[in-house]
Amino acid sequence: MTEATFATQVSRWYERNARDLPWRKPDVGAWAILVSEVMLQQTPVVRVVPAWEAWLARWPEPRALAEDTPAEAIRMWGRLGYPRRAVRLRECAVAIVERHGGVVPDRLDQLLALPGVGTYTARAVAAFAYGQRHPVVDTNVRRVVCRAVAGEPDAGPTTRPADLVATEELLPVDPAAAALASAAFMELGAVVCTARAPRCAVCPVESVCAWRASGQAAPAGPTRRPQRYAGTDRQVRGLLLAVLRDATGPVPHQRLDQVWHDDVQRARALAGLVTDGLVEPVGPDSFRLAGDGPPVPVP
């Protein structure tokens, strides 16, 4: 399978069919793209769009967020889920200001050194914000490449070095074309080459897909077991955070005791929030969102 028969065809399809997402517009900068990539982790696009727009309206550049408190980042994150991402994104903004003068770096090694920025996010920012040639591999891309190249119905649960190599081999040599192809692979996996109901009839590379040629069926069940939410520590953490987000000052322990009936589970969830840097104790018997006080100036 050559780049001409795969990356070019997928890129042409993408240019005609890509969803109109705000972070894909030509004038969107690296900071906005970084924010979108962090928010999109384990969160559906439909929930991210309004949160992303509100976040950028308040903090249009890293320095603006760096000069605000962690508590405000947590409040602004709202109910997107996995709120530790909000704290890490603010830590990332502080690092960008301190190390790079407030400008999101364009070098992959510098992106990887930022707090909360991993292999996928660093490569996504380098490709989508700066037009560089890097394999950008998420679940959707791994599935597309696994099916098209290896002829398997689905990829494993985590990204491996071999996935990066296989994806990079499909990228055009030209950096701009490679960045476009990276976005196209991801879109194809998200809307056509889906896990359980692939739409092979409208796939632009059906004719060169090894999995399609093999005649194998798609997996009958979910590729990952859905995570239960009701009754879990995640739910209790969310209830506790909701009370603290809405508060204008420290919240007495007695008020937090009212959000969940199980004393042991509630205490464990609260302790986890403190350990994760989302909540901090105030005095002997009250709590507040981390850093919920006057902002500290960033040099």
Which is the catalytic residue, given 3, 37, 72, 91?
37
Q: What angle do CA 249, 250, 251 make, to 5 degrees?
A: 115
In whole angstroms, what is the distance from residue 3 CA to residue 144 CA? 14
- Determine the 3-state secondary structure of 151 from DSSP: coil
* Pair of tokens at residue 274: 């403190």
Q: What are phi and psi of 106, to 5 degrees?
A: -105, -5
The DSSP secondary structure of 263-288, one letter per residue, reads HHHHHHHHHHHHHTTSEEEETTTEEE
φ/ψ of 226, rounded to 5, equals -60, 140
Per-residue DSSP letter, 60: S
Express the helix, strand and coil content of the chain in percent, nearest 5 each. Answer: 55, 5, 40
- ∠ CA(273), CA(276), CA(279), 5° rounding? 45
Known active-site residue 280: no
Question: HEC string of 152-213?
Answer: CCCCCCCCCHHHHHHHHCCCCCCHHHHHHHHHHHHHHHHHCCCCCCCCHHHCCCHHHCHHHH
Which residues are tagged catalytic? 37
